[in-house]
Structure 1
């Protein structure tokens, strides 16, 4: 197993006895944790926590919840033999993050460790003892219910990662109504990131007509040179006139030259994943011989939903890729910091995951 899901982590924790209390990894934290209940397969996990030295008890402790979203985020970050800093992963949010980390550390496949920390000074580089990290070692299990430290020769550069930066952004009005909800703003940010990624990779980008009026850096998206004003005259569509109408509502389409389409992209929340797949499938039906990537872009913790929907029989032929928000912004941040050149289309595949079981259809390339 090289990829974990939320259901994997929940099942690991579900093996812990519910009649026991559990300690935190950090010895200075004298608190206790008890598992109250677990909703399988993906959570939430209900817990109580209290610190006896502060006069607290389980009776007075309130019940708290570790959400499925939180579990999915850590599942997506875990890789075999790769230490992760849980506090940094959650950016200081989620006040039960140390509880989840500690419960995982009590299960056989997880250890804690202190990788070396690189200090880069002006004249030399030193390696010092670093912060606490969680480490997944699936082939070296320890006893259930124990917390075990392991030694590692790995060293970590703790230079903060570069963030994706969105400058002045204004959503268009719909009638007299401003479209300024958090979800619509997030959708627009990701759409801009995809456009900017495409621009640096030398692509022209189709942005659906509802989004072309978004104002970015005091300029409408449809006023940018690399945003296509129309699809009707694209050489690729000349033999497939009906494909144009199916392409118009798609969030983003990348074009390279006149005959290559590196990606057909839908940006969706959990409710819209199936509708995004339907739009891409309708497009594929009109231009079936096209070689491209059909891509769902959504939040990291929606991976399971993408996998579930993309593997339905009617969508198998899309061979859908999952392009998480964090992966989009990692690539966008790289494009902002570096002038990429000589990049092949396969470079994109490093940031996406194929989520379709290819054994289900012999027609998937």
Structure 2
């Protein structure tokens, strides 16, 4: 069953604030959180012991209660836990794959049914933080184009985000914020659900207008650490560096497709093929894309989003159902190689040598 959006009733309490320090070492973080981890361990009440149904609501509500209690408590109350909490609380230490470092893991009982109450988004996909429902028609039309432009428009078929071709849409809590910004994404993702775990690819409203997603990394207190603005069809190499290789932002910013001159603003109100052609005319495309043309890109869009161009021609591109997007086999050579020769590019077939 799909997960539903989780909003903290009444909005995130104002007593819950980010840590004043953004740049702490791992040892400093362990020292800062040890009292909180002990508080969670000693005050966690399972659904069975509370006589509550095992439907996930108890765990979500209980996590929120603990967060609010700790945040609104007196310093004397918190110090009482901090002073007797050991570093590496039993049950929180020992490295495990894809989990926080030793001494930072929550007690296992506090992680029960956590996945069931996470926000319904895929962190490996593009996430819209702008409203893109039917009530926001202009945003919706740009969003559909944006998502389609994440496919490969060079000499091979595929998707820039590999298998993550279906995007996600964040629905912010109006009781918490009406500012659909990059800065407010992490509170929605982690604080609304009191997420006791853990670069994101986000598209805000300005990004939808200018055709650039924001690849962002946050500090441990939720403030933005670093960010890059990248056109969707340029994301293949930056995505591999960030999500497959785990590279830092300096390496990502020097990946093919991430350079600033390749990512100036686009006019996302143009027809989708015109967006690509305009970027080609401005000499802003990587070589493997620049040898392609309107005819090839028209075939590409029909392959990736069957029926979209017909709807767009009627002024109804925003009505295109994203569930109709395809997952084509990657790496298939395109027809353009048989009809276009570009002196900047030499195609070498597999198994041959120049």
Q: TM-score range by the shorter chain?
A: under 0.3
**Higher share in helix:** 2
**Higher share in strand:** 1
Give the TM-score normalised by structure 1.
0.24
Q: Which structure would you say has the larger RCO, counting Cα contacts within 8 Å and 6 or more residues apart?
A: 2
Give the TM-score normalised by structure 2.
0.25
